[in-house]
Chains A and B, each alone.
Chain A
Amino acid sequence: MISMTRRRFLRLAAGSALPGALAGCDRLAGNDAFNSTLRRAQFLSQRAQRLLTGDDALAQEFTEDDIADEFRSNGTTMPDSRLYRQLLGGQFQAWRLQVAGLVGRPAQYSLAELQAMPSRTQITRHDCVEGWSAIGKWTGVPLRHLLARVQPLPMARYVVFHCADPMDGSDVQAPASTYYESIGLAEALHPQTILAYALNDEPLPVENGAPLRLRVERQLGYKQAKYLMRIDLVERLENIRGGNGGYWEDLGYEWYAGI
């Protein structure tokens, strides 16, 4: 008798607990406040990884033989923007990279000026947040060289990258939806953090971010902002766009993409 009721109780408990638990998980997973609490674990991960690897650790570099035949493009492959089409039509002669914000000497650079600066070439693995990886050879200006020129002010803590590609339709429909990203100053000063204008010894193709893209080799693909237009040095990220430091970050992805 006792064992029968106990068995029935267990069966009932198991039968109702499992779908109940699943429904509960789904409700929690749909709760933005709960997810943003979970997302705070990224700062624990960031601290642990910094402690373990040190700030200067270099991303693995590969050989010419490892380069992928075709470097996969993800996200925008052709910005739907009138301005970008004009710049592309003029082979980026009229394009200028603006560097502003908390800097002593705001400046703007043409592509030729950037190409005349000291460069770094690195064969690295690009890791997409989706899970795939591709190896490519990037050439560009170390960001720390550029920052040394514009002289960041002491309160500058983040480098924000504003891009040309509108993410929610064309620039006419959604003028304020362009891609943006940000990294901390330590990451910006890392020797492998470069503004790349060449992929596999060729000018950067449009689908990979022409004329200039960021390479932050110790983080995931969505940090590698393409179609760069303006770089801002800032103290805080809260007042920029959605406040989370990047287009995908505003949609729930971690700002720290080293994991």
Chain B
Amino acid sequence: MLRRFGKHVKDALSLAPPVSRNLAMLHRLHPQTMPSATASTAAQRRLFYRHRLPVRIMHWINVITFFLMLMSGLGIFNAHPHLYWGAQSDFGAPLLSIGARPGPDGQPHGVTQIGSHVVNTDGVLGASGGKGAARKIERAFPIWATIPGPQSLATARNWHLFFAWIFVLNGIAYIAYTVLSGHLRRDLVPSRPELRGIGRSLLDHLLFRHPAGAAAKRYNVLQNLTYLVVIFILLPLIVLGGLGMSPRLDTLFGGWVDLLGGRQSARTLHFAAACLLLAFVAVHIFEVIVTGLWNNVRSMITGYYRLPPNKDEETTP
């Protein structure tokens, strides 16, 4: 199966006869991408088979389960919106605490306390409006951010602990696939020269200069490093933090959770990793939009990505 996908990539890149067959098949599915009869072969070559089927399937499973996990997780967090460091809760000195104080208008006023700093987060964190509700209610994360909307720790846990299985099994399948298919070595790990170009890549991102032509076939070095951090640091950390909160699993190796700093630290790290993953998703979606929303979304649905035209190529007759 893997071999067949590999061949497919080669076909799509070369100008050998199979190309036309592949493209024709693609165009039947997506008439809007059909180039005119007079289109140059260069234009045809620019359609590039970028994401293989297993990656596409796992990506979309991940999208759905990530949001279900995030929102049900916030629902669980709302049951005790305070974070601590160590094995147990030092109720008098939380690292982070989301709550409400009585406001001048008689309504609860949401505040977030980080260490000793108090930040006004009214309307979103601590106290927020319900659906069509005239009054704000006290709740850490607002109704639109949690599953279920109305506070229910039992339901939030039912969802979180069910979809955790799908999320983790999908993640394990993905890591196995990237290693065994060569996706990791070929596409995700940056080469030495690419690593040296990190400053340049950073500048390109800040100036919204996006790679074109053949350069757009590969992930750029910032993309590589971000994906590697997400896949091999943040995702394992969030899973370990979650498992570290399980009293039964904490019996393993005489309290392995101490390696994370204790159970309350595990909970804090789980939350922090979720925030960082959400930040990654936000930047990811932003980049998807600014580098060509439809082209990117299509490549994650059909696999085909149209390479942005290279300026040199355009000037050549």
Contacts and interface: CB of A to CB of B under 8 A. Distances in A.
Contacts of B165: 41, 44-45
The 4 closest A-B pairs by CB, nearest first: A258-B248, A252-B154, A29-B148, A57-B251
B270 to A, nearest CB: 10
A52 B87 contact: no
Contact of A38 (B79, B159, B249): B159
Interface string B153-194: 111011101101100000000000000000000000000000
A148 interface: no
Interface of B: 32, 68, 71, 76-77, 79-80, 82, 84, 87-89, 91, 144, 147-149, 152-155, 157-159, 161-162, 164-165, 245-252, 254-255, 257, 263-264, 267, 293-294, 297
A251 interface: yes
Interface in A11-50: 22, 25-26, 29-30, 35, 38-39, 41-42, 44-45, 49
Nearest to A54: B251
Interface of A: 2-3, 6-7, 10, 22, 25-26, 29-30, 35, 38-39, 41-42, 44-45, 49, 52-53, 57-60, 62, 66, 68, 72, 125, 127-135, 217-220, 248, 251-254, 257-259
B66 to A, nearest CB: 13
Interface hub of B77, B157, B252 (most chain A Cβ within 10 A): B157
B79 A6 contact: no
Given A29-B147, A53-B252, A253-B154, A258 B246 contact: yes
B148 A217 contact: no
B12 to A, nearest CB: 23
A130 B153 contact: yes
Contact of B158 (A49, A135, A252): A252
Contact of A258 (B80, B153, B158, B247): B247
Contacts of B158: 35, 38-39, 252, 254
B247 A10 contact: no
Given A125-B263, A252-B152, A258-B246, A133 B251 contact: no
B264 A133 contact: yes
A30 B80 contact: no
A219 B80 CA distance: 18
A126 to B, nearest CB: 8
Nearest to B254: A60
Contact of A42 (B161, B251, B255): B161
A220 B88 contact: no
20 contacts: A22-B149, A29-B152, A39-B162, A49-B249, A60-B257, A62-B87, A68-B88, A125-B247, A131-B76, A132-B80, A132-B84, A133-B89, A135-B87, A252-B154, A252-B155, A252-B158, A253-B154, A258-B246, A259-B245, A259-B247
B267 A131 contact: yes
A41 B89 contact: no
